[in-house]
Amino acid sequence: MPMSQKKTILTGDRPTGPLHLGHYVGSLINRIPFQDTYKQFVMIADMQALTDNYDNPQKVRDNVLEVALDYLSIGIDPTKSTIFIQSMIPQIAELTVIYLNLVTVNRLKRNPTVKTEIGQKKFGEHIPAGFLIYPVHQAADITIVKGDVVPVGEDQLPILEQTNEIVRSFNRIYKTDILHEVEWLASKTPRLPGIDGKNKMSKSLGNAIFLSDSADIVAKKVMQMYTDPDHVHVDSPGKIEGNTVFMYLDVFDSEKNEVAEMKAHYQRGGLGDVKVKRRLIEVLNAFLDPIRTRRAEWASDKAQVMQILFEGSAQTCEVASQTMEQVRQALHLDYK
């Protein structure tokens, strides 16, 4: 299919740390086929990362490169996907300001995703305005490149719904059709829990296995994994429901029959947690080894990686400039 006929999809991540297996299972794995079926923009959302890291901008800056290395190491091809840095697209900020006139403060406070994250971050009455308006910022991210499709989990769906509310308001108020509503592409992959088995994988919770972790670190983390707390003796029957090690084997072990046999053995007794964990260590390191190799190759020439980001940002700026020209015309701000 010619590139001009492909729908545009926007994906991305906040550069607050290296990416982990939860990112991979949740979204990264899909971006490889996306780059052949869509016109894919991959955004490193550094401005969004500043909404709750405003007092540590160096952390955000340092992780821009780390996230880019993760993208390249898993196989995102810069000749097929446009990887860009959010802050290098000034049109996004301009469009965000315009969109803020179309959204009320009360509507932002009612956004379920925002409400949940405000509670998680324990802002109380000290909510940064930038954090409160990030659904509007994301609406600008999507529409500045004329995104047709956005892959999000159900917890992020309210953000997309608010994007479409803004699009409808803009087109109605300014009597135009230059913006179009965005489709939600649901993830078909399961959410991967952290090694504690209690929460989704997160750097801040200290329960993540990163794509850049060494084999020894992976082994150490797997040995800490939550299994069945009642499986004290090897001969005792064990539970596989809620057992994090088996959840990971279901995702990463290609030998499904062998995994099924291990589950049956574990349930009837006679299979210890250590043996199951050793199997997972072997599986995860076999999965991560080629990623580590590619990452090391890219990391040996960081200037080239940054050049890829600069070129992708320049290409995105061209698209964003065209969008803003249409937006300014609709608002009668196209002064000549």
Beta strands in the chain (DSSP E): 8-13, 39-44, 81-85, 149-152, 183-186
Quick count: other Cβ atoms within 10 Å of Cβ 31?
22
pTM, to two decimals: 0.90
Q: Which of 160, 126, 153, 92 is nearest to 319 (CA)?
A: 92
- Sequence-ordered list of residues with C-beta below 8 angstroms from that of 191, at least 6 positions apart, any chain: 22, 25, 26, 153, 200
DSSP class of residue 9 equals E
pLDDT at residue 117 tops 80 = no
Band of pLDDT at residue 320, cut at 50, 70 and 90: very high
pLDDT in tens, 183-238: 988 766 667 889 998 778 888 788 999 999 999 999 999 999 989 888 888 889 99
What average pLDDT does the segment 76-104 reach? 97
Rounded CA-CA distance 320/324 in Å is 6
Contacts for 206 with CB less than 8 Å, ≥ 6 apart: none
Pull the structure tokens for residue 180. 């179009």
CA atoms within 13 A on the CB side of 194: 12
Task: Provide mean pLDDT across the span 116-121.
Answer: 75
d(C-alpha 224, C-alpha 112), whole Å: 33
| Percent of the chain scoring above 90 in pLDDT | 72
pLDDT digits (tens, 9 = 90+) for 72-85: 999 999 999 999 99
Average confidence (pLDDT) over 260-283: 95
pLDDT of residue 1: 45
Cβ-based neighbour number of residue 263 at 10 Å: 18
Predicted local distance difference test score (pLDDT) of residue 185: 86
Residues 96 and 136 sit within 8 Å (Cβ to Cβ): yes
The tokens describing 233, both together, are: 């003796």
CA angle (208, 16, 318) in 5-degree steps: 130
Residue type, 240: I
Residues forming beta bridges with residue 31, ordered by sequence position: none
pLDDT at 259: 95
Say if residues 100 and 140 touch (Cβ distance below 8 Å): no
Q: Give the three-state DSSP class for 185.
A: strand
Structural tokens at position 69:
């290395």
- What span, in angstroms and rounded, lies between the C-alpha atoms of 22 and 25? 5
Percent of the chain exceeding pLDDT 70 equals 98
pLDDT of residue 318: 98
Question: Of residues 191 and 319, which shows the higher confidence score?
Answer: 319
Rounded to the nearest integer, the mean pLDDT of the chain is: 91
pLDDT interval class at 121 (50, 70, 90): confident
pLDDT at 2 over 70: no
Q: Which of these, 124, 147, 117, 145, lies nearest to 51 by C-alpha position?
A: 117
Domains contained in the chain, CATH given: 3-192+302-330 (3.40.50.620), 215-295 (1.10.240.10)
